[in-house]
Amino acid sequence: MKKAVTIKSIAEQLGLSRNTVAKALNGQYVPEKTRERVLKKAQEMNYKSLDLKRIEISAAKYRILLVSGKPLNNINYFIPLIGGIESFCYRHNHELFQYIYNSARTPFTAFANYVKELNADGIVAVECFDKQFILKLLNLGKPVVFNDFTHSEIVSDRKYDIISANDEQSIRRLVRRLYDEYKLTRFTFVGDSRHCMSFHDRYMGMLLGLVGAKVRHNREEDILCSDDNFDYGNAESLKAEIIKLKYMPECFICGNDFIARSVCNALKDMGVKIPKNVLVAGFDNVSDAYSLSPTISTFSVDKKFLGTETMRTLINRIENPDIPSRNITVSTQFISRQSTAK
């Protein structure tokens, strides 16, 4: 007489615990690959109590942790991005958890313990630019996808992915366009190019655009103050830095729209007319760009798509942990407004 197939016999065949196999067969959470192995083996062994339809409907897939270096919900850039992440998790039955990490208040061990207790399958890191935190995060051994990244070089054997806008190419093309159309040669970048990868790439985009146009440029012509001790939102502070420049630029390339708005306010206070005397360009297409006069020319990226693509990349990383690290860029669209309407 043929022996009945039991949870114990399936577990022995797979080298798993009975508890893990029972969870997989009862529609409770286990990692996706483990669940697939258990279901396949159960089918092969003709396990009589198998109800594939019920298991598919009830089983949550992955536990995803969203970690950020600051609160994100009050920053209008991140609302659609986080919305893209949340809607993807909802559609695909993933569990999403959030954690705000502040190195000054929270020891990393506390965060590491949280990740372990959560049994997270993968991590999305947003606004996490501290090099030491990134290295410790990677050493947890979890699949990680970063939305934007540090400007510093990271040397790690761990594999990870980065999702960002096409920053360098976007600015490079704009600078070359302004040179070709208006013969502009005096450009000034405003923003801390060491703040993060995206700011660094935007600065490099300006420099490479000028190189392509064979225009010489000196670092002293830029405003690159560290945002650790400089308030880019203060028009008076920016005005003081602009006055220090040897000459008034023909175009300010700003790290983002928030900085571009402050530059416009500083220039208006100086009696400099935009765009008659000088052009200003920002990045991100948030409300700072279009809510006041002059409206600011900027680059728009589909932020909800950026969030969705971040999740697609993370799921791919979870299910294929050995694929090479990747830096995935999402294209932008230049939106021409009053600040560059020369």
Query: Within a 10 A sphere around the Cβ of 19, how many other Cβ atoms?
Result: 12
CB 296 within 8 A of CB 257: yes
pLDDT > 80? residue 51: no
Quote the pTM value.
Answer: 0.82
Q: Two tokens at 308? A: 């969705």
Q: Two tokens at 230? A: 């400089």
pLDDT > 90? residue 229: yes
pLDDT > 70? residue 57: no
How many alpha carbons lie under 13 Å from residue 182 in its C-beta half-sphere? 18
Closest CA to 302 of 77, 115, 107, 55: 77
How confident is the model at residue 243, as a pLDDT?
A: 96
The pLDDT of 169-173, averaged and rounded, is: 98
pLDDT > 50? residue 62: yes
Q: What is the homologous superfamily of the domain 63-166+303-332 according to CATH? A: Response regulator (3.40.50.2300)
Residue count of the chain? 342
Q: Render pLDDT for 172-190 as a digit per residue (tens, 0 to 9).
A: 999 999 999 999 999 999 9
CA–CA separation, 300 and 317 (whole Å): 27
How confident is the model at residue 49, as a pLDDT?
A: 65
pLDDT > 70? residue 27: no
State the span(s) of the chain assigned CATH 1.10.260.
Answer: 7-58
Closest CA to 289 of 279, 278, 300: 300
Least confident of 30-39, 85-94, 100-109, 160-169: 30-39
pLDDT > 90? residue 69: no
The pLDDT of 301-312, averaged and rounded, is: 96
The pLDDT of 52-71, averaged and rounded, is: 73
Q: What is the mean pLDDT of the chain?
A: 92
How confident is the model at residue 196, as a pLDDT?
A: 97
CA–CA separation, 289 and 337 (whole Å): 9
Q: Render pLDDT for 103-145 as a digit per residue (tens, 0 to 9).
A: 888 899 999 999 999 999 999 999 999 999 999 999 999 999 9
pLDDT level of residue 54 (50, 70, 90 thresholds): low
DSSP SS3 for 7: helix
* CATH number assigned to the domain covering 7-58: 1.10.260
Least confident of 99-103, 112-116, 257-261: 99-103
pLDDT level of residue 327 (50, 70, 90 thresholds): very high
Q: Render pLDDT for 180-217 as a digit per residue (tens, 0 to 9).
A: 999 999 999 999 999 999 999 999 999 999 999 999 99
Least confident of 35-49, 215-229, 241-255: 35-49
Q: Render pLDDT for 28-50 as a digit per residue (tens, 0 to 9).
A: 667 777 878 888 888 888 887 66
CA of residue 163 relative to chain centroid, distance = 5
Which residues fall within 8 angstroms of residue 178, CB to CB, at 6 or more apart?
184, 251, 279, 340
pLDDT > 70? residue 283: yes
State the span(s) of the chain assigned CATH 3.40.50.2300.
Answer: 63-166+303-332, 167-300+334-340
What CATH number does domain 167-300+334-340 carry, 3.20.20.70, 3.40.50.2300, 3.10.180.10, 3.40.50.300?
A: 3.40.50.2300
Q: Render pLDDT for 139-151 as a digit per residue (tens, 0 to 9).
A: 999 999 999 999 9
pLDDT > 70? residue 260: yes
Q: Phi and psi at residue 300, in whole multiples of 5°? A: -105, 135
Closest CA to 142 of 163, 156, 124, 155: 124
The pLDDT of 220-226, averaged and rounded, is: 96
How confident is the model at residue 288, as a pLDDT?
A: 87
pLDDT > 80? residue 1: no
How confident is the model at residue 142, as a pLDDT?
A: 97
